[in-house]
Amino acid sequence: ECDWSSDVCMVTGGRNTGRVGILQHREKHKGSFDICHLKDSAGNEFATRLSNVFVIGRGNKPMISLPKGKGIKLSILEEAANRAQ
């Protein structure tokens, strides 16, 4: 059993692909998929399957360099405002 809580993780599959967050907790579901709850640096919380989560750092410091957006998913309006600038 690994103690993953409060580690930096990147989502590698599903709807949240590319997002980076700190692992909050893990729900175990016997006979089904385990669910991980993460929180990104902007304070947004999201959940995904355990198989889609890849640990990239300990604590709140990633061991790899992150892409330009730091793994934060923007809303459609925020993306449009960034493009207009």
The rounded Cα 59 to chain-centroid distance in angstroms is 14
The DSSP string of 24-59 is EEEE--TTS--EEEEE-TTS-EEEEEGGGEEEEEET
pTM passes above 0.85: no
Q: 29 is written with which tokens?
A: 């579901």
Per-residue pLDDT of the chain (85 residues; tens, 9 = 90+): 456 678 899 999 999 999 999 999 999 999 999 999 999 988 999 999 999 999 999 888 888 888 788 888 888 998 899 899 8
Cα separation, 20 vs 11, in Å, equals 6
